[in-house]
């Protein structure tokens, strides 16, 4: 009997100790001086990072079932080391390539709501890499937000051998949870590099290091030990921008892009004008030169009120203001690639058609 009593006592003591340990692991409230982890909202806009395939070596032909933010949070318990991550699915209907300006406006309005939500400290947005920087640049120009906003994606599907999605997503959450990322506008975080969304471009179809800054480099890194910033952009964005989503019309002015090449015909410009464009970005040769075979058509377009912006197909260097360009009333696109110049011109045209005023915007944003 004494042995049974002793064993019962030991068992009861063990139960009490386990209960006490569990209570210590999950306290009712945080001890004094311990801060709660940042709250990061994980928004999915789809993309390769959501793709799956039956074969782990399949890195180019993948698709359904598509994963959502709940799946990523479940697959990556590591996220809880850095933040309290909550999911939100804003994918357009169908595949991620179905992204439209209408959906951009929807996402921008939602992001503006998050800007006013004091319970959320930062935002991560997953996106397909094809037009990720376009979506991000639009958001950076239209949402008044100081909280960190980080765009992320992957070059390989979630199921791929050595896929880049999981680590990219963990690092994006780390960046969004870092107070130093606040006020820097929409950021791009992949392959451990951090860029301002304005200055980063996809440069390779499938390689991991695809996102690069042509003229301007990384402003920070997400290394294993720390997220560290070294600089920030001086261009206007987010809370400094004048194109707030609340003031935008339901549809943006139509703007098209023309790729300049030897003996390009002017009827391409004529066709655009006939279809009601309000602006044209000419991705010019050399330092942004407009091919002479389309100059007459451009003058006719300008006479009809169409604004012309010049970018350079070299992808490096600024398109500069020159006496000839000034006389021709063509707006220099600075160092923006044509797809981003198109977005800025669309937004500029919601406020003015004055060429000088639009030119100033291209030096500021």
The residues that are catalytic are: 48
Rg (CA), the chain: 25
| DSSP string covering 116-162 | T-TT--EEEEE--SSSHHHHHHHHHHH----S-EEEE--SS-TTSTT
Give start and end residues of each alpha helix (H) in 226-287.
267-274
CB 251 within 8 A of CB 276: no
| Distance (Å, whole) CA 331 – CA 311 | 9
Inter-axis angle of helices 101-115 and 132-142, nearest 10: 50
In 3D space, the residue among 46, 66, 62, 42 whose CA is nearest the CA of residue 54 turns out to be 62
DSSP state, 273? H
In 3D space, the residue among 306, 257, 315, 304 whose CA is nearest the CA of residue 282 turns out to be 257
CB 220 within 8 A of CB 228: yes
| Distance (Å, whole) CA 306 – CA 284 | 17
């Amino acid at each position: 009997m004494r042995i049974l009593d002793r064993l019962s006592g030991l068992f009861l003591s063990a139960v009490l100790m386990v209960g006490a340990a569990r209570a210590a692991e999950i306290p009712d409230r945080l001890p004094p001086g311990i801060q709660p982890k940042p709250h990061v909202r994980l928004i999915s806009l789809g993309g390769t990072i959501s793709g799956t395939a039956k074969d782990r070596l399949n890195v180019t032909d993948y698709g359904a079932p598509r994963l959502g933010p709940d799946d990523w949070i479940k697959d990556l318990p590591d996220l809880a080391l850095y933040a309290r991550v909550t999911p939100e699915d804003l994918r357009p209907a169908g595949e991620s390539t179905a992204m439209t300006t209408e959906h951009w406006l929807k996402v921008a309005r939602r992001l503006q709501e998050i800007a006013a939500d004091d319970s959320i400290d930062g935002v991560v947005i997953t996106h397909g890499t094809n037009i990720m920087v376009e979506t991000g640049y639009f958001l950076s120009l239209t949402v008044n937000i100081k909280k960190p906003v980080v765009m992320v994606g992957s070059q390989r599907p979630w199921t791929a051998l050595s896929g880049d999605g999981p680590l990219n997503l963990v690092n994006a959450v780390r960046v969004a949870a870092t107070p130093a990322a606040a006020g820097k506008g929409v950021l791009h975080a992949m392959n451990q590099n951090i860029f301002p969304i304005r200055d980063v471009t996809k440069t390779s179809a499938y390689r991991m290091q695809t996102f690069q800054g042509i003229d301007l480099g990384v402003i920070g890194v997400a290394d294993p030990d720390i997220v560290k910033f070294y600089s920030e952009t001086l261009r206007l964005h987010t809370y400094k921008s004048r194109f707030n989503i609340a003031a935008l019309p339901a549809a943006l002015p139509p703007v098209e892009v023309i790729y300049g090449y030897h003996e390009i015909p002017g009827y391409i410009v004529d066709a655009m004008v006939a279809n009601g464009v309000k602006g044209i970005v000419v991705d010019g040769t050399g330092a942004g030169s407009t091919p002479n075979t389309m100059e007459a058509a451009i003058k006719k377009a300008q006479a009809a009120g169409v604004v012309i912006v010049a970018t350079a197909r070299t992808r490096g260097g600024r398109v500069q203001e020159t006496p000839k360009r000034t006389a021709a009333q063509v707006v220099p696109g600075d160092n923006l690639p044509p797809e981003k110049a198109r977005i800025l011109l669309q937004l500029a045209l919601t406020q003015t058609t004055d060429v000088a005023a639009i030119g100033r915007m291209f030096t500021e944003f």
